[in-house]
């Protein structure tokens, strides 16, 4: 028995294995067509939630242009310390500096999501989760940075991987921190008639 059945063509506009696994975990069927557009840096002073939504829309539109008959889901996840958006680290030294700046503090993980319908209409939203890190010493942070896990992760850590040891607690959606606010996404897919509960 499936939890959800996909009844309309759905495309995930992302190459992220984490988003693929999360969406697939509920039995939802979809194609993967990663966006090929550039990801511009946030504008000076831009609201982080606005930026995450803007990026999700940009990615979804990029994929939808080549697949007009499908619903296209785009997503972008950012890590925010105070009002500073932390992207992916440039190298291991940069990863260490990012992690050091987060230790002993609470930061936000924000995912913007956008769904484009075959008729071109769009729906977008952002979900924010507070994440608190334990304050680790320099040796531990350097050892984690050296594992390579932070290399391609926003904020330089993966809560679903070895980076889980950094996290003292979270307030909000766990799957959002992994890369996709699954409950909210499924709500939207049901609302739009893309998926239905159980077997169709």
**Residues 163-175, mean pLDDT to the nearest whole number:** 96
Q: Which residues form the catalytic set? A: 76
Measured distance CA(63)–CA(37) in Å, rounded:
9
- What pLDDT was estimated at residue 178? 95
Query: What are the residue boundaries of the structural domains of the chain, listed by start?
Result: 4-197
Measured distance CA(19)–CA(155) in Å, rounded:
17
Q: Which of 177, 85, 166 is nearest to 132 (CA)?
A: 166
Q: If pLDDT is split at 50, 70 and 90, which confidence band does 43 have?
A: confident
Give the global pTM: 0.93
pLDDT digits (tens, 9 = 90+) for 78-136: 999 998 999 889 999 999 999 999 999 999 999 999 999 999 999 999 999 999 999 98
Q: If pLDDT is split at 50, 70 and 90, which confidence band does 200 have?
A: low
- What pLDDT was estimated at residue 3? 87
Pairing of strands 84-86, 71-81: antiparallel
Measured distance CA(200)–CA(185) in Å, rounded:
19
**CATH 3.90.950.10 assigned to 4-197:** yes
Element containing residue 69 per DSSP (H, E): none
Q: If pLDDT is split at 50, 70 and 90, which confidence band does 176 have?
A: very high
pLDDT digits (tens, 9 = 90+) for 61-82: 999 999 999 999 999 999 999 9
Q: Which of 11, 18, 13, 36 is nearest to 152 (CA)?
A: 18
**Residues 147-173, mean pLDDT to the nearest whole number:** 94
């Amino acid at each position: 028995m499936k939890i959800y059945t996909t009844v309309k063509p759905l495309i995930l506009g992302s190459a992220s294995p984490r988003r693929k696994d999360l969406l697939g975990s509920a039995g939802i069927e979809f194609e993967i067509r990663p966006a090929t557009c550039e990801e511009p840096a946030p504008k000076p002073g831009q609201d982080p939630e606005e930026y995450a939504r803007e990026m999700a829309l940009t990615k979804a539109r990029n994929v939808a242009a080549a697949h007009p008959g499908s619903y296209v889901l785009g997503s972008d996840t950012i890590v925010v310390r105070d009002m500073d958006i932390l992207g992916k680290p440039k190298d291991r030294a940069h990863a260490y500096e990012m992690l050091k700046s987060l230790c002993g503090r609470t930061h936000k993980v924000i995912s913007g999501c956008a769904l484009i319908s075959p008729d071109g209409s769009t729906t977008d939203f952002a979900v924010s989760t507070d994440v608190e890190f334990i304050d680790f010493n320099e040796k531990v942070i350097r050892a984690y940075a050296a594992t390579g896990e932070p290399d391609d992760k926003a904020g330089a850590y993966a809560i679903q991987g070895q980076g889980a040891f950094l996290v003292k607690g979270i307030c909000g959606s766990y799957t959002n921190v992994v890369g996709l606010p699954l409950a909210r996404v499924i709500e939207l897919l049901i609302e739009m008639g893309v998926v239905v509960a159980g077997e169709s």
